[in-house]
Structure 1
C-alpha cells in the first residue's frame, strides 16, 4: 500500500513542482525541501506545503472530510502496529481546539498560520511517530520547548540528530579498539 501522503507528494497536484526531470521522482533539491517541510511543519513553507497536500479540492480550506481522508491512513497504521486507535471525531475536536478557526466548518491557511500548534495537526494526519509522541508528551521535551521557545522544530531535529550521530561515533570509536596491548590476542597470526 502506498501511503496517501507520499502518493499526494509525488502527484502533479503538489504545492511545489519537482526539479527532477524524471516524473514521480525526487531530486536532491526536492528531497531537501521535503525533509525541511517534514521536520518543521510550523514554518511557513512547511505549513503551506502540507496544507496544500490536504486541500484535495484546492479551494483553500480544509474540511472535516479532507482531514478524515488522511486520518483514515493513520488509523490503518495504528491498527497495524497494534496501537490504541483514536476516533476521528475526537481528533477533529482536538484539531479545532488547537487551531481555533474563525469558522468551525473549515480551517483556512490563515487559521493555520496564526496558530503555533498547527504543525501538530499535520503530524496527526501524516506522521504516526510524531503523533504518538505528541499524545504521550515527555515532560523533558515540554520543559525543553519552554526553555528555548525561539528554537524551531527544525532546530530541535538537527540538535537531536547531532547528538545521536555523536553517540554512534563514540560507540564506533570505542568498539574499533583502544590500541591497548592487553586487548590483543596472544596467539601468533600464523
Structure 2
C-alpha cells in the first residue's frame, strides 16, 4: 500500500475495520459492502488535504516542520498497525495546520449567514466584499454621501421664529437617513408615525395639506376651506388608500407603499402646474365629478345618503338589493350601517367605474357574498338575478334564462372547485365587470350586450 496516497490509506483502514462502534458489515462472496460513516469520511477529506501541495508548502514554512512531519508519520504508522481507523485530529491540531486564508474564508462564511456585509484581505492585500441580498429600507448610503447631504442642511441659517427649530430638524433628518436608504423608504419614514411600521389616513393629512397650500393648480381653493377639506381629507386620501392599501385595514405598510406609484406621482406634481395632469389621486376634475354625483343624491346636503337616495344613482341603474348591501357597508367590510357618508361613496364610485381593479373586484365580491363564506353560490346569484329579470320584463327586453346564465358563467370563469365561485377565480377569469353588471347593474349590462360583449365573445377572448 502506498502510504502517500490518502485514498489508499483511508480505504485500507475501512477494509480492516473492527471497531465495534462502526456499523456491521454486510458480507458477500466477492467483497465487503461498507455502510458510510461520517467520521471516516471526514478523516478521508482531512488526509486528502494534508498531502496536497498547498499543505506541504505551508508545512515547509513552519519552523517546526520536522517535528510535525514526524508526528504525522507516527500517526499513519500507528493507524496501519492498529485494527481500527484513527479518530479525526483534535480541533486545536487542525487549527494550527490551517492556513490564514482558510481561516478568513471560514469567518466570511459565518458572517454571511447572519446577513452582514463581510470583507477579508487576500495575500495581495485586495479587499473583497459580499453584500446582503436584501435591504428592507434600501441599500445603505455610503458615509461620504450622507455627509454631503447633511452638509447642505448645515448650510441653512437657523431661524429662531420657525415652528420647528433648526437643530431638531437636523437631528430628525440625520436619523431618517441613518435608517432609510432609498428614496421610497425615506418618504415612507417621513409620512408615518415614529412608533408604527405603517401609516394611517391621519398621517397623510400634513402632506396633502402642504400640497393643497403650495401647488399652483390648487390656488383657487385658498378662499374655500370647506372644499379644501372635502378635496384633500375625503377624496384624495380615500383614493390613495383604495389603490395602495391591499389589506383593507387602513394601515399602509412599506411593502404596499413600495409596490405603488405614489412617489412617482409626487414627483409629477412638481413638473406640472395643472393639477389635472396627475390623474392618479390628486386630479381636481375627478374630485369635482365625484362630489357633484354625491351632491345630486344628497338632497338635504348633510353629506349622508340612504338606500333610497342611492337607488337614484345613474338613473336607477343599481338593483335595490345591491344598494342595500352598499349602504350597509358590506363592500368595505364594515358593520351594518343605515346611511352612507361621503368617504364611503368615494370608495363605491371608484369600485363602480373600474370593476377591473383588484380592489373593485374585492369590493363587489363582499357585496354579493351574503353569508360571508368566501364563495358566491348559485343561491346568491339567483338572489340578485331575479330582480334583473324583472327589470328586463319591464323594459321589454328578452329575459335571460337563469340556468343558461350560470352555465355560461362557470364555463367562462372555470372555478377551481366546480359550482363554487371564489374571489381568486373571478380575478383570474378577467370577466369580473361583465359578471357583476349582469347581477346588479342593468344599464351597464345592456351596454355590454350592445357592444357585443356577450359571454361567447368573452369566452373566445379567454381561449
Normalising by structure 2, report the TM-score: 0.28
Residue ranges of structure 1 left out of the alignment (5+ in a row): 140-190
Q: Indicate whether 1:94 and 2:408 are aligned.
A: yes
* 1:130 counterpart (433, 444, 462): 444
How many angstroms does 1:76 deviate by?
A: 1.2
Residue 105 of structure 1: aligned partner: 419
* 2:395 counterpart (71, 75, 81): 81
Residue 7 of structure 1: aligned partner: 324
Q: Indicate whether 1:41 and 2:335 are aligned.
A: no
1-10 or 49-58, larger mean C-alpha shift: 1-10
* 2:377 counterpart (63, 67, 71): 63
Once the two structures are superposed, what CA deviation does each residue of 1:22-63 show, in whole Å capped at 9, x if it has no partner? x52222221111011111112111101110111111110111
Distance 2:380 2:372 in 1: 11
SS state at 1:102 partner: coil
How many angstroms does 1:136 deviate by?
A: 2.6
How many angstroms does 1:14 deviate by?
A: 3.9
Distance 1:14 1:43 in 2: 14
Over 3 Å counting, the alpha-carbon distance change for 1:98 and 1:32 in structure 2 is same
Over 3 Å counting, the alpha-carbon distance change for 1:107 and 1:87 in structure 2 is same
Which one scores higher on RCO, CA 8 angstroms, separation ≥ 6?
Answer: 1
Distance 2:365 2:430 in 1: 15
Normalising by structure 1, report the TM-score: 0.65
How many angstroms does 1:138 deviate by?
A: 5.2
Residue ranges of structure 2 left out of the alignment (5+ in a row): 1-307, 312-319, 454-463
SS state at 1:114 partner: helix
Distance 2:441 2:411 in 1: 20
Q: Indicate whether 1:115 and 2:432 are aligned.
A: no
SS state at 2:429 partner: coil
Distance 1:13 1:138 in 2: 32
Indicate the RMSD between aligned Cα atoms, in angstroms: 2.1
Q: Indicate if the aligned counterparts of 2:415 and 2:422 stay in contact, CA closer than 8 A.
A: yes
Distance 1:35 1:12 in 2: 13
Distance 2:411 2:437 in 1: 16
Give the structure with higher Rg (CA).
2
Over 3 Å counting, the alpha-carbon distance change for 1:94 and 1:63 in structure 2 is same
